[in-house]
Structure 1
Amino acid sequence: MDQQQQQNNPIEMALQEYKQGIGNFTQKMPNIAKKFNAFTEACFEEGKLSQKEKQMIALGISVYSQDEYCIIYHAKGCIDQGCTEEEILETVGVTAAFGGGAAMSQAVTLVQECISELGGNNSQMQ
C-alpha cells in the first residue's frame, strides 16, 4: 500500500491517530506512559496463553466495550499474530453472545473492515 492509499484508508488513519495521541501523551506525562507501557507489555508477553490468544481476548473485550481504536489496534494484533479470518470472527461471535447487537454491529462493520484493509480477505491471512 503506497503512502496516498494509507492516508485515504480510515483504518490506517485511526492507527496513526492513536500512535500520535500516545506520542503526545508520552511527551506530556512520561512517567505515567512509561509505567502504563511496561504494564501492558507484561500483560501481552507470551505465557501460559500465547500472544495470539491474548490478542483475541483483547479484541473481544474491545468489541464488547465499543472502543473503536482498541478494536482496530487488536484486530491488527490478531492479524499480526497469524489469526485466520475464521478465528477472528469466532472471537467476535463469542463476544456478541455477551454484548448482543452492539457487539455484533462492530463485528460486521469495523472488524470486517480491519480484516479487509489490514490482512486481506482470505481465510488464512498468514
Structure 2
Amino acid sequence: MHQADSLQKVDSYKVGVGHMKELMPTMVEAYHHFTAACFAPGALDEKQKQLIALGIGLFANNEVCTLYHVQEALAKGASRQEILEATAVASAVASGHAMSQGVTRVERALDSLT
C-alpha cells in the first residue's frame, strides 16, 4: 500500500466523523474527549499507548485503525522496529487466541459429539 492510499483511508475516516458530528455533535465530542483522555500520557507514555492501539487494531482486523495508529505511533516517536515488534506481539496474541479456543471449545465440542 502506498503512503497516499494509507493517508486517504485515514482522511476518509476523519471526513466521516466530521459528517457524523454535524448530526450528533454531543456524541462525537464525547468520543473525542474520551479517546483524548485514554491516549494522554500517564503511567504509559503516548508512544506506548499508540503501539497498544496498533496491536488491538490488527487483532480486530480494522484497517483504518491499523493505518491511523501506525501514523500516530510514528508521530509519537516510535521506530519501525518498535512498530514491527508491536505487530509481532499482536500476531502472537491472535494465534494464541485461536489456540486457546481450539483446545477448549473444540475439545468440548468433540467430547459432546463423540
TM range, smaller chain: 0.7 to 0.9
Within 5 Å, give how 1:64-75 maps onto structure 2. 64-75=59-70
Within 5 Å, give how 1:1-126 maps onto structure 2. 9-100=4-95
Higher relative contact order (CA 8 A, sep 6+): 1
Over 2 Å off, 4+ runs: none
Letter of the 1:22 counterpart: V
Report the Cα offset of residue 73 of structure 1: 0.6
Structure 2 unpaired stretches of 5+: 96-114
Q: C-alpha distance in 2, partners of 1:55/1:11?
A: 17
Report the Cα offset of residue 16 of structure 1: 1.3
Larger Rg: 2
Q: C-alpha distance in 2, partners of 1:13/1:52?
A: 23
TM-score normalized with structure 2 length: 0.79
Partner of 1:121: none
Aligned length: 94
Q: Percent identity among equivalent residues?
A: 35
TM-score normalized with structure 1 length: 0.71
Letter of the 1:23 counterpart: G
Q: C-alpha distance in 2, partners of 1:36/1:60?
A: 20
Specify which structure has the higher proportion of helix: 2
Letter of the 2:68 counterpart: Y
1:71 aligned counterpart, secondary structure: helix
Structure 1 unpaired stretches of 5+: 101-126
